[in-house]
Structures are given as structure tokens and as C-alpha cells.
Amino acid sequence: MTKTISRRDFLKLGAASAGAVALGQMLPPQVAQAARAAGLLNANGDGYIHSMCEMCVWRCGLTAKVVDGRVVKLDGNPEHAHSRGNLCPRGQSGLMNTYDPDRVLTPLVRVGKRGEGKFRQASWDEALDIVASNMQKIKDTYGAEAMVFSSTHNLSQPLFENLLYAFGSPNYGTQRSLCFNAMIVSNLMTYGMEEPGRIYDENLKYILLTGRNLLEAISTSETHDLIMAIDRGAKVVYLDPRYTKTASKATEWLPIKPGMDLAFHLALLNIIISEKLYDKTFVSRNTVGFDELKTEVARYTAEWAAPLTGIPAETITRIAHELADAAPHVLVHNGWRTSNFTNSFHTQRAISILNALLGNWDVTMADAGGEESGTLGAPPQPPYPRVSALRLDGVPWKYPVVPLKIGVFQELRDNIVSGDPYQAHGWFISRQNPIMSIPDRSKTIKAFGKMDFIVTVDIIMNDTAWFSDVVLPEASYLERYDPLLPVGDKVFLRQPVIEPQGEAKSALWIYKQLGERLGLGDYFQYADEEDYLRQQLAPLGVSLEEVKAKGYAEAPETPHEGEPAELSWNTPSGKVELFSDTLSRVGFPGVPVWEEPPQPSENQFYLLTGKVAQATQFGTQNNQLLHKYSDEPRIWMNAQTAAKLGLATDDWVEVSSEVGTIHTKLLATQAIRPDCVYMTPGYGHLSKGLKTAFGVGASDSAIHVTYTDPISGSQALSQTFVTVKKA
Ligand SMILES: Nc1nc2c(c(=O)[nH]1)N[C@H]1C(S)=C(S)[C@@H](COP(=O)(O)OP(=O)(O)OC[C@H]3O[C@@H](n4cnc5c(=O)[nH]c(N)nc54)[C@H](O)[C@@H]3O)O[C@H]1N2
Ligand SMILES: Nc1nc2c(c(=O)[nH]1)N[C@H]1C(S)=C(S)[C@@H](COP(=O)(O)OP(=O)(O)OC[C@H]3O[C@@H](n4cnc5c(=O)[nH]c(N)nc54)[C@H](O)[C@@H]3O)O[C@H]1N2
Ligand code: SF4
Ligand SMILES: [Mo]
């Protein structure tokens, strides 16, 4: 069982990763032939190779130390804007993602019943033939739309999308509606961009964080910026029903009542507008809809918000004044996983709008530019076939303002179960664990039960692979090439630090093979991974060899022809939209409005979820290093509440919602509101193929009820109410 981690242990984690060599030595040494050929390793197979982390979607630049053909240490690459020379604990433990003894190293074909975990090894030829013939059969029998594809953000996703769009299916499930749809759709409606960039502002004075636990839910550079700002004396106000590591470093922690963030931010808007504390020049020059906003928020006073939020009116008023005083050196942070309540879209709109009123554009917020660099080349390909079938996830017919590329994954799952508007028959999953990441796990398993065929691409036997018919083993991020990643004015390379173990292959290879078997080879016009990268690099005039040595290429952004006189945004009005005509025309309120979130009854608790620094989502719990340094997963309950219920730390409890029941141990703590309980996600795995993680903790996804925000399509993860009793 895991032990409780001390701060000292936690800091030692970086040093400890060298200890993983011993575990790694269980596997035969592998020498990176490509790296050696490029002169990056000496004849003994020793050296340093630059690449990129994939322990989470932040993708920091890394430098791998290789000794005798084995990776022994990972460090941050200072040239990379995300890592700046640092890797977080997960990044430093990344070599155990590669050397995990539970890696799937050959294609597997199911032989037992689904979920029984009986598989046989197969050759790539056989496995790819099985996958392609099942996909083709489904297409021929029911139409391409009967094949569902899903994947979470990763560098080979453009090739995955080539496969699905060329195949002709409209059904695409991404993690986004499970994560940050509310924030993205809000920013699209307000600024015409998914997420404005954040400028490093040395004069930043004030940061308001709404459930953005940056010191545990880590994005290295952003976490670093926050720490630097705190060090310089910036004030941090942090709203979270839970006392997290971020709360411990904030100037002020406000244990807001869950779901009431909307009331809090509406009251801030009310004060800033009614007391004329906003940036009048920015608002008059650059925004539309101020009058509609002013009329709507007139009723949301601090006195109105106080009983809803549990935060005194004087505090709300003071924070509004402090924000205005510190403007424009302020940041009202949108948060990242903003999927808490079905009113979260309005909370996000209120936050986006607050930033505009405080005039921080080009001071702490700016056009992010995006990761898609127009300067990179790409292999030629024909246009995709036209698709006329409705999407199963209700976009756009039920969710008119949710972009097609983003979708509403939990609704896709629900409509697979209902068979409405039509029945899906196949599911292709890559780099994703929907069995665990979508709420109401038994419903997801039911959706799997509706499938004639399921294939999963992963590196380990995750829970989704466990329920699949074919598992295709991808090479780990230290063993493969991926498409280039533009970050700022550079493009970074992921390259093999060691050769793939077993039969594992890159996604670039896997999708091309499948494309060719499905008669879609024209969408995969590259000979191999290096040829793909050379085609990407062609317009930059840089050789792949140069990029391999440095880890990146300079990709200067196209110079602007003089600075534009006026700011403009990619919204219908070209301005920041405080009132959105787009929303209004499809029947949604054009400005943020109060929507009362549901509340638990007297014997129920809000079930909170949230990240910890030692794990990423549902995919790293089997990492032996991270496992060793993780807290034992227990459900948090306020100590007074626990005492009232006769419960104590380490008691086994039964936790029930309307969709499920789990058993877990309790942690009685002051660090949570009395009306809430909290569980760390990613435990209670179903796959026995995860020998380290199986049997540890319980799954919150097994008891989460599925609620969806009707505007942004975000799931609402804090809207599940549970009862807790002694088991
Ligand atoms: N170590 C680590 N870092 C990660 C990740 C990881 O898995 N591990 N994942 C990455 C990803 S994909 C994401 S999206 C981000 C997520 O990063 P965050 O946006 O910080 O999201 P969470 O950690 O999921 O939840 C943050 C907090 O929201 C609180 N909360 C719950 N309900 C409410 C509410 O109604 N109001 C308020 N104010 N707070 C509430 C929870 O108590 C929790 O502490 O982290 C990224 N970074
Ligand atoms: N209860 C609860 N639910 C949540 C959340 C929560 O906090 N609590 N968070 C939500 C959020 S913010 C998000 S972003 C989603 C995430 O939801 P998912 O994307 O479904 O979850 P992950 O665990 O990130 O899935 C990553 C998968 O990729 C696999 N993998 C790792 N490396 C590789 C590789 O190199 N190649 C391949 N092919 N596979 C690889 C891992 O083994 C894992 O199975 O979950 C959401 N759901
Ligand atoms: S934040 Fe951590 S896990 Fe994520 S890419 Fe960076 S080092 Fe890797
Ligand atoms: Mo996320």
C-alpha cells in the first residue's frame, strides 16, 4: 500500500527517478539507432537527447540522459517555453512510463468475454487486418457514421483525424467536454478565441483563481509564473470549497459554496459597473453590449450574493475594489477544468467579461496565437468526403454553439446507449481512457456493450483497452517520433530516446498502416516518421538532423506589416462581446445571467474531484515511481461532520449516488467545507492488467452522475450528490 508523502519526500522525487534504473534493468537494454546514427549517442550508447514529455498535455521540453542505451534521467529543457529547465514530478517519473513492466508490447486480440481480460498476442499484420476489416464491415453494413472515434489531445491527433474524416464518420469524442468546454465556448463567444494567452507581467498585482489549483494541477510554466508572482508580493485570492496546496500559498482562501462562483462573479460585475470602476477607454473602444450587461447585472448585488456563496458582502465588495485598484495588472483566471456545474458557462462568461472590464488586454492577457503553426509543411492529401449524417453528440443540432472539433463526449456516450438518432456499432479509441474519464462508468461499459467492435491504441492495458477487442501498442513517448509541436517562435521535436521495446510502434506508423488497408492511403503520404517530419520542416529550410541535435527549430512568426491601429477580435462584431448576438440568436442569454445550481439535501454531500501533483488523470497510477510517492487515496470529509456521523480517519465508508455505490477509506480533515466530500480521480481501476494500480482506492467516475451544461456541453462534475455511511 502507498505511504503518506512528506514534503521532503516529494522534493526528493526528482532525485529518486534515477533509482528507476534498477527497475528499468528488468528489461533488455535498447539503443536508439536513430539517435546513435545522428551522433547523439557515443559508441557505448551514452549521451543526452532532447525530446518532449507526454506525461500530460502540457508537453514540456526534456533532455534525456541515456547510459548504455538506457534512459536513466529526465530533465527539463531550458529552451522550451513550457518547461524552462524544469519537469514536474510526473515528468521526472516519465521513464517508468516507458519501463513499466505492464507495458503492452505486442498487438493483442481478445479471446475471452469482453472485460474478462483474456487476450492472445498477434502479429501487427494480423491485428491491423482484423481492425481494418471490422471497420470496413461496419461502414458497409451501417454507414461510416456507425463507427465512433475518440482521442484526447496528442501530437499525432492530426493523423487520427485524417483516419476518421477520410473514413467518413462525423462521430468524434474528445476530452474537451469532460474538461474545459465551458471556458472555451465562453472565450469564443467573448473574444473569438478558445483561450486568450497569458502574458508574463512583472507588475502583476492581483490574481483571482476560481478552482484553478495551479500548485497541484500543474502546468509547469503557469505554475512557475504564479509562484514568481507570489514571491514578488502579488495578491492571490483563491476560491475553492477545499483547502488545496494553492489555497495554502494564496493570500486569501475563500471556501465558496460549490456552484455559487457564478453569483460571486456576477456581484463583482455589479460593483465594478455600478461604481464605474471599469476601464472606460477599453470598454468604449473595444467592446459591444455594455448597456445590456449593465442592465442585467444591476440586480446582482454583493448582499444578494453573500448568502448564496457563503462569502460576506463586505469581502466581495472589497475584492471588487482591490481588483479595480490593481487593474490592469490583474488576472481573473478562467480556470482550466471548468466543468463543475450546469451553470459553469455563465460563470466563465462572467470571468471572461471581468477581464475585459479591467482592461488587462495586452497587459496580462493577449492573443494566444495557438499551437497550429502556419509555417510548417504537411504531406499533400485529397479533401475529405462530405458527411451528411447527424452527429451522435448533438452538435450542432442540440448544442448549436459548441464547435464541431470539440463536441460533447458524454452525450455521444449516452446516445450510443439509447441508439438515438441511430445505433453506433464500432469504437476506435486512442490515448484516452473513457471507461474512467466519462461520468457514470457503468453506463460507459453499457455503451461498450452496444459495440460490434472496439479497438484501443495505448501503451498499457488501461481500463478501456481491457474492455476492447483489439489493443494496438503504441511506442512510448521516449521511444517514438511524433509530429512537431510549435511553441512560441520555435517548433519542438519528439524523437526516440531509446528504440521501441517489443513490437510497439509510433502512431504515425499505425494510422498510415490502417489508412492503407482501408483504401485511404492518399491521406497518409509519407514513407515513414522521418519523411513526415522532413515534409513538416521543408518550409523552414532546416534539416531534420539539425533539429534532432538541438531538439527544436526556430520558426519565426510571419512579421506583421506595421502594428494595426485598432485592436480587433475574431467575433462577429470584431470587438470583445459583452453581449453576444450569436448566443442570443440561438435562444441563449446574450449576457451572463443567474442560474441557481441544484443543492444537496440535508443528508447528502457535494462530491468534489480534482488533480494531485503525483498523477495525471486516469493514466499514470500504474507508474511505479509515482505510485510510491502518492498518498493513499481516501475520501475527504470535514472533521466535524465526520465526528457527527461517528466516522473517523481510516474507517471504511460506503458512498452512494443515484448511479452507483463505492467503498473507500475516509480522511477526516479541516481542509474541506462541511457540505462537501472530495475524491482524487484515477483510482479504482477495473483493469487487472495494471498490476501496480489495480486494487488501489475507489473510482469517483463510478458514482458521478452525468449532467451537461446546455450551452457549452461541459459535463458538471461537482453536481453529483452522495450519501456517506460506515461500511
Ligand atoms: N498533476 C496534475 N496536473 C494536471 C493534470 C493532472 O491530471 N495532474 N491535468 C491537467 C488537466 S487536463 C487539467 S484540465 C488541469 C485541471 O486543473 P484545475 O482546473 O485546477 O482542475 P481540478 O484539479 O480538476 O479541480 C480544481 C479544484 O476545483 C475545485 N472545485 C470543485 N467544484 C468547485 C466549485 O464549484 N467551485 C470552485 N471554486 N471550485 C470547485 C476542487 O476542489 C479542486 O480543488 O490540470 C492539468 N494539470
Ligand atoms: N472524475 C473525474 N473525471 C474527470 C476528471 C476529473 O478530475 N475527475 N478530469 C477530466 C479532465 S480535466 C480530463 S482532460 C479528462 C481526461 O480524460 P482521458 O483523456 O480519457 O484520460 P487520461 O487518463 O488522460 O487518458 C490517457 C490515456 O492515454 C494513455 N497513454 C499514455 N501515454 C500514451 C501514449 O504515449 N500513447 C498512447 N496511445 N496512449 C498513452 C494512458 O495509458 C491513458 O489510458 O478526464 C475528465 N474526467
Ligand atoms: S507539466 Fe509535468 S507531466 Fe506535464 S508535460 Fe510538463 S513535466 Fe510533463
Ligand atoms: Mo483536462
The answer as to whether 37 is a domain residue is no
Residue among 219, 617, 680 to mutate when testing ligand 2 (max atoms within 8 A of CB): 617
**pLDDT at res. 354:** 98
Kindly list the distances between the CA atom of residue 131 and the CA atoms of 400, 456, 473, 484, in Å, as whole numbers in the listed order.
34, 10, 13, 27
Q: In angstroms, rounded to a whole number, what is the distance separating the alpha carbons of residues 379 and 329?
A: 44
Residue located nearest, by CA, to atom 4 of ligand 3: 56
Range of lowest pLDDT (68-72, 151-155, 522-526): 68-72
The answer as to whether 346 is a domain residue is yes
Longest Cα–Cα distance in the chain: 74
Q: Which ligand has the nearest atom to the CA of 612?
A: 1
Name every protein residue with a CB atom under 6 angstroms from any ligand 2 atom.
Answer: 54, 152, 175, 178-179, 337, 430-434, 437, 457-460, 462, 474, 476-477, 609, 617-619, 681, 700-701, 704, 717
Q: What is the CATH number of the domain that holds 681?
A: 2.40.40.20
Of the residues 528, 553, 585, the one at which a domain ends: 585
Task: Specify whether 662 is located in the same domain as 684.
Answer: yes
Residue 331 CB neighbours (<10 A): 28
Residue located nearest, by CA, to atom 43 of ligand 1: 610
Q: Which ligand has the nearest atom to the CA of 259?
A: 1
Please state the domain count of the chain. 3
In 3D space, the residue among 533, 541, 693 whose CA is nearest the CA of residue 617 turns out to be 693
Task: Specify whether 158 is located in the same domain as 170.
Answer: yes
Q: Is 70 exceeded by the pLDDT of residue 558? A: no
State the average pLDDT over residues 494-519.
97
**pLDDT at res. 261:** 98
Task: Specify whether 172 is located in the same domain as 242.
Answer: no
Q: Tell me the per-residue pLDDT of 413-449, one tens digit each, with 9 for 90 and over.
A: 999 999 999 999 999 999 999 999 999 999 999 999 9
**pLDDT at res. 70:** 87
Q: Is 60 exceeded by the pLDDT of residue 29? A: no
Distance 611 CA to ligand 4 centre (A): 10
Q: Is 80 exceeded by the pLDDT of residue 4? A: no
Residue among 336, 347, 606, 630 to mutate when testing ligand 1 (max atoms within 8 A of CB): 336
Task: Specify whether 613 is located in the same domain as 581.
Answer: no
206-210 and 235-239 beta bridge pairing: parallel
Ligand 1 site, residue 619, Cβ cutoff 6 A? no
**pLDDT at res. 202:** 94
Task: Specify whether 189 is located in the same domain as 334.
Answer: yes
State the average pLDDT over residues 524-547.
97
Q: Which ligand has the nearest atom to the CA of 55?
A: 3
Ligand 3 site, residue 443, Cβ cutoff 6 A? no
Task: Specify whether 170 is located in the same domain as 218.
Answer: no
Task: Specify whether 158 is located in the same domain as 194.
Answer: no
Mean confidence (pLDDT) of the chain = 93
Ligand 1 site, residue 244, Cβ cutoff 6 A? yes
Q: Classify 474 as helix, strand or coil.
A: strand
Q: What residue numbers bound the domain in which 455 lies?
A: 108-177+402-480+499-539
Residues for the chain: how many in total? 727
**pLDDT at res. 559:** 53
The answer as to whether 332 is a domain residue is yes
Distance 439 CA to ligand 2 centre (A): 13
Ligand 3 site, residue 456, Cβ cutoff 6 A? no
Helical H runs in 65-219? 89-92, 95-98, 124-142, 157-167, 176-179, 181-191
The backbone region for 305, taken as left when phi is positive above 0, alpha when psi lies in -120 to 50, beta otherwise, is alpha
Q: In angstroms, rounded to a whole number, what is the distance separating the alpha carbons of residues 455 and 469?
A: 6
**pLDDT at res. 370:** 57
Percent above pLDDT 70 for the chain: 93
Residue among 437, 462, 464, 472 to mutate when testing ligand 2 (max atoms within 8 A of CB): 437
Q: Which ligand has the nearest atom to the CA of 714?
A: 2
Helices (H) and strands (E) in the chain, counts: 27, 27
Q: Tell me the per-residue pLDDT of 640-656, one tens digit each, with 9 for 90 and over.
A: 999 999 999 999 999 99
Helical H runs in 310-433? 313-326, 344-357, 409-418
Q: Tell me the per-residue pLDDT of 112-122, one tens digit each, with 9 for 90 and over.
A: 999 999 999 99
Q: Tell me the per-residue pLDDT of 477-493, one tens digit each, with 9 for 90 and over.
A: 999 999 999 988 899 99
**pLDDT at res. 373:** 56
Distance 57 CA to ligand 2 centre (A): 9
Ligand 3 site, residue 478, Cβ cutoff 6 A? no
Task: Specify whether 194 is located in the same domain as 331.
Answer: yes
Which residues contact residue 433 at a Cβ distance below 8 angstroms, ignoring those fewer than 6 apart?
458, 462, 463, 464, 617, 618, 619
Q: Is 90 exceeded by the pLDDT of residue 8? A: no
The answer as to whether 393 is a domain residue is no
Q: What is the CATH number of the domain that holds 435?
A: 3.40.50.740
Q: What is the CATH number of the domain that holds 188?
A: 3.40.228.10
Residues 148, 153, 159: CA angle, nearest 5 degrees: 65
Q: Are 10 and 245 in contact (CB under 8 A)?
A: no
- Edge-first strand listing for the sheet containing 47-52: 47-52, 61-67, 70-76
Q: Is 50 exceeded by the pLDDT of residue 17? A: no
The answer as to whether 567 is a domain residue is no
**pLDDT at res. 352:** 98
Distance 216 CA to ligand 1 centre (A): 8
Q: Which ligand has the nearest atom to the CA of 683?
A: 2
**pLDDT at res. 661:** 98
Task: Specify whether 721 is located in the same domain as 662.
Answer: yes
Q: Is 60 exceeded by the pLDDT of residue 229? A: yes
Q: Which ligand has the nearest atom to the CA of 80?
A: 3
**pLDDT at res. 24:** 35
Q: Tell me the per-residue pLDDT of 123-165, one tens digit each, with 9 for 90 and over.
A: 999 999 999 999 999 999 999 999 999 999 999 999 999 999 9
State the average pLDDT over residues 342-363.
98
Positive or negative, the CA dihedral 316, 319, 325, 328 is negative
Instruction: Looking at the CA of residue 616, tell me the nearest atom of ligand 3.
Output: 3
Task: Specify whether 710 is located in the same domain as 633.
Answer: yes
Distance 638 CA to ligand 1 centre (A): 20
**pLDDT at res. 135:** 98
Residue 372 pLDDT grade (very low, low, confident, very high; cuts 50, 70, 90): low
Task: Specify whether 325 is located in the same domain as 466.
Answer: no
Q: Tell me the per-residue pLDDT of 183-194, one tens digit each, with 9 for 90 and over.
A: 999 999 999 999
Residue 43 pLDDT grade (very low, low, confident, very high; cuts 50, 70, 90): confident
Task: Specify whether 276 is located in the same domain as 344.
Answer: yes
Ligand 1 site, residue 131, Cβ cutoff 6 A? no
State the average pLDDT over residues 551-555.
92
Range of lowest pLDDT (93-97, 356-360, 488-492, 555-559): 555-559
The answer as to whether 616 is a domain residue is yes
Distance 159 CA to ligand 3 centre (A): 23
Give the containing element (helix H, strand E) for 644: helix 639-644
Ligand 1 site, residue 533, Cβ cutoff 6 A? no
What's the N-to-C CA distance of the chain in angstroms? 20
Q: Is 60 exceeded by the pLDDT of residue 694? A: yes
The answer as to whether 467 is a domain residue is yes
Range of lowest pLDDT (45-49, 312-316, 327-331): 45-49
Percent above pLDDT 90 for the chain: 88
**pLDDT at res. 368:** 79
The answer as to whether 68 is a domain residue is no
Residue among 458, 678, 708 to mutate when testing ligand 2 (max atoms within 8 A of CB): 458
Distance 682 CA to ligand 1 centre (A): 13
Q: Tell me the per-residue pLDDT of 602-635, one tens digit each, with 9 for 90 and over.
A: 999 999 999 999 999 999 999 999 999 999 999 9
426-430 and 147-151 beta bridge pairing: parallel
